[in-house]
Structure 1
Amino acid sequence: MRIYNLFPRLAGPFSAWRPHLERAADLGFDWVFVNPIQQPGRSCSLYSIKDYFKINPALLDPTSPKAPEDQVRETVAWAESLGLKVMQDLVINHCAYDSPLLKQHPEWFIKEKGRIAHPFCVHEGEKVIWRDLASFDHRHTSDPEGLYQYCRAVVEHLIGLGFKGFRCDAAYQIPPEFWRRLIEETKRAHEVIFVAETLGCSVDQTRETAGAGFDYIFNSAKWWDFESPWLIEQYNLTRELVPSIAFPESHDTPRLFAECQRNVDALKQRYLFAALFSAGVMMPIGYEFGFEKPLHVVKTTPQDWEQTEVDICDFIRKVNRIKSQYRVFQEESITELIDHPNRAVLLMWKASSRNHQEALIILNKNIWGREVFYTEDLYRYIQASPPLVDVSPEWPQAYLPTPYHFELPPGMGRVLVADV
């Protein structure tokens, strides 16, 4: 999966989505992920859903004679005409605190001291409470079948609008047996995929959730320092269970361009690694232009579209083409880090478990300076017979000499593939 995250609040009404969808298709993405489009509650947060069966008025074209649902279907159909499947956030771990559901079905919600509870998290040692949200009680409700059937109806409604997949928000907060039933019953009737958002949970929670039938989970490659062992350890713990999706930034994180002091090489470095590390990759709207304003589920508007001098579209297009052409980059391939004398260079070996493809990724960790990679023989790192082919998105070499010496510009990655 090569996923472009079209953030509704930045893109604006459905009628304005076409150029963004066309750009996503041109960049080589095959999926578009859309954050919630349902009617929000009083807080106006995309993730505070008041009515799951109505469309957010802010996304509708008031001049269109078409019904809200038809405006959605028309937009999804346009995406599909470009070769893009569309997935939407499935937010069924909580709803808006001012949703009618709280009065209609109070038994569906977690209670604290007699009141319906708000979800919370602990951030940097402090408890953060989302007071605009109410937590569904999937584990202990007195009406589990009623709550399940409601969620099932939400899924059917979204499928009826044309969506072919679901990114399941905070999936680990809902029991695996709930997901197993929902996924099995839905897939019996429709060709759809389910992706679990498991960031921030333990490895055991990730494995338990992944085992409920999800097609993909998200991994934490965005936060890796290119050195610590934890990412490869986590990757190997779930690699044979379910494929994963990496991302250089998301709608929940700061913009990488701002984090890296407006370094374009950092944008390229992180996208290349995210795209080739695991089976799937996801990139949010604006990354290709070096946007710096974080996406906000309440405050972002189309007026936040930034005019920049950055444009890495061609680079992203080339990386996506590499990913689409080589099986080793389309699966949770066998992956190992190889020691190298220059600690500022990442040397990663990958091997497909489904065919005989192998790959070497040589990446300059340093986004501010040049680093030298040298080896007596590239073939010492792979098991396949020659040749190794340089398929790098920038400056690919037609001939790989022995010994091999390359001075890597800041953040640059070399991608070498042995295709037996």
Structure 2
Amino acid sequence: MEKKIPHRFAGSESGHPEDAPKGRAREGAHQGPRIYNLFPLLVGSVPDWGQRLPEIAAMKFNWVFLNPFHAPGFSGSLYAIKDYYQLHPLFQGDHQEPPEQLLKKFVRQAEKQGLGVMMDLVINHTAKDSPLVSQHPEWYLHGEDGSVRSPFVVDPDDPQNVTVWGDLAEIDYRQRPARKSLLAYWKKLVRHYTQLGFHGFRCDAAYKVPGDVWAELIETAQELNPKVHFFAETLGAPLHQIEQLHSAGFDYFFNSAKWWDFHADWLLEQYEQFRHIAPSIAFPESHDTERLAAEWGGEERRSRTWYLFAAFFSAGVMLPIGYEYGFQRKLHVVETRPEDWEEPLFDLASFVTAANAMKANTPVLNEEGPQRRFTSSGHPLVGLLRQSEHTGESAVGLINTDTEHSHDFGLDRLGEAMGVDIDAIQEITPLHQADSLAGHQRIRVAPYSMRIFHTPGKKKPKRSS
């Protein structure tokens, strides 16, 4: 099953697992999530996952996200789950330990590296050949002929183009007596993986499940561990389906920054609208999209610029395995195997490390405050200003979208945009010299690249009671 993600629509995909409980994400006092998506089919068995952890930690990520690792149905798709308590055969490998022990050991290994582990939670459908279909047919939607219904999507640009996922059975969340036992099953599942030590859940197609259901599942997990975080995947969802998640208690949403052209207004409008629901996570590519290196012919500067933009744009950032090496083969939820590991086109590990360190050390880049463009929409040099609502801190990203020519920007104009004297501005661009502004009146941004500037603010004084 390949998931189709219409772009330009998203909700607003937390910090380190030792951060404070849910709610801190909005207080600006923590580090946002820097997520490495360890796509399990490309790596192999669970012990093989563990071998990747040191290099992930070395790049200063603080989360590892695992796509579904459960036993799949007849299609073999990771997202067509047949048994939530058994491992995919590839992930079990030749190891005799039960799934619980293998997973618990991996989570402990990650913790020792300072990494929280997030798993995919897919509860809007199951595999069509899941035992649950015959054991609990009342949990599913049915067609007019009585057969279990498969989920589908209609292309908004062509209503005649309908994609049906025939390997899936769609769950029925309508209010009725059967929903109580259905919800009890999911609560038991969430308890199981929380007790194994998982620090977070990425909720697949969260908008297809009622917000009150998520609220109960989030409460169930946090009764066991108040620091468990929930991340809503809402890409492709219409506005009303996102808004119904407002009170569910999600810590983060994934946003649509990946599809921005750096000029249209829609992304900044979405950012402003959804940041009041929850902070968001940007990514330059995902397991559902084409590889950026493939889209742009392996151009290293594009991969650099897009990761830096994603790290700058919102509270969280995510990178899928292989991005740092310019992998070009699209990840596939059925067919990908460890043999598909590619020869690197380039190595961005040191750059990603520096970008993640920059993000971790700059509080304004770990919260969702006001953000606006201060350059004209048609100019190749795009200026974004991010501001903290808690500290008065601000950061500016200057993005040159011109692939052929450098563009200059006046340092005095930068000071005006940030509302400070130019002496207060510090460049924090990864792998850039800290004193690079000294003696200059203008900032030069190379073709298709990004530079980032920061000015510290002062914390607002606490009101006396």
TM-score (norm. length: structure 1) = 0.96
Q: After superposition, where does 1:11-410 map in structure 2 within 5 Å?
A: 11-62=43-94, 64-113=95-144, 114-123=146-155, 125=158, 126-190=161-225, 191-340=227-376, 343-366=379-402, 368-375=403-410, 377=412, 378-385=414-421, 386-400=423-437, 404-410=441-447
2:64, 2:117 within 8 Å by CA — same for their partners in 1?
Answer: yes
For the residue of structure 2 that corresponds to 1:188, the secondary structure is helix
CA offsets, 1:191-233, max 9 Å, x none? 2111100000122322222431100001000000001000010
2:36, 2:64 within 8 Å by CA — same for their partners in 1?
Answer: yes
- After TM superposition, what 4+ stretches of structure 1 lie above 4 angstroms from structure 2? none
For the residue of structure 2 that corresponds to 1:267, the secondary structure is helix
User: Percent identity between the aligned chains?
Assistant: 41
Which residue identity is paired with 1:108? W
For the residue of structure 2 that corresponds to 1:163, the secondary structure is coil
Hey, what's the Cα distance between the residues in 2 that align with 1:314 and 1:210?
Answer: 38
Unaligned runs of 5+ in 1: none
Deviation (angstroms), 1:15 = 1.6
1:108, 1:142 within 8 Å by CA — same for their partners in 2?
Answer: no
Deviation (angstroms), 1:399 = 4.8
CA offsets, 1:162-217, max 9 Å, x none? 21100000000011111112212321221211110000012232222243110000
Structure 1 162/189 Cα, relative in aligned 2: closer, same or farther at 3 Å?
closer
Structure 1 207/384 Cα, relative in aligned 2: closer, same or farther at 3 Å?
farther
Deviation (angstroms), 1:401 = 5.4
Which residue identity is paired with 2:131? P
Hey, what's the Cα distance between the residues in 2 that align with 1:397 and 1:340?
Answer: 28
2:385, 2:395 within 8 Å by CA — same for their partners in 1?
Answer: yes
For the residue of structure 1 that corresponds to 2:424, the secondary structure is coil
> Is 1:415 matched with 2:452?
yes
Supply the RMSD in Å over aligned alpha carbons: 1.6
Number of equivalences: 418
2:208, 2:241 within 8 Å by CA — same for their partners in 1?
Answer: no
Which residue identity is paired with 1:164? H
For the residue of structure 2 that corresponds to 1:416, the secondary structure is strand
Unaligned runs of 5+ in 2: 1-32, 458-465
Hey, what's the Cα distance between the residues in 1 that align with 2:356 and 2:369?
Answer: 17
Hey, what's the Cα distance between the residues in 2 that align with 1:65 and 1:181?
Answer: 35
For the residue of structure 2 that corresponds to 1:115, the secondary structure is coil
> Is 1:5 matched with 2:46?
no
Which residue identity is paired with 2:56? A
Hey, what's the Cα distance between the residues in 2 that align with 1:7 and 1:347?
Answer: 34
Hey, what's the Cα distance between the residues in 1 that align with 2:274 and 2:211?
Answer: 16
Deviation (angstroms), 1:318 = 0.6
Deviation (angstroms), 1:400 = 2.4
TM-score (norm. length: structure 2) = 0.87
Which residue identity is paired with 1:74? K
Which residue identity is paired with 2:40? P
2:69, 2:91 within 8 Å by CA — same for their partners in 1?
Answer: yes
2:35, 2:64 within 8 Å by CA — same for their partners in 1?
Answer: yes
Hey, what's the Cα distance between the residues in 2 that align with 1:373 and 1:340?
Answer: 14
Deviation (angstroms), 1:257 = 0.5
1:245, 1:279 within 8 Å by CA — same for their partners in 2?
Answer: yes
Which residue identity is paired with 2:379? R
Hey, what's the Cα distance between the residues in 2 that align with 1:254 and 1:122?
Answer: 21
Deviation (angstroms), 1:138 = 1.1
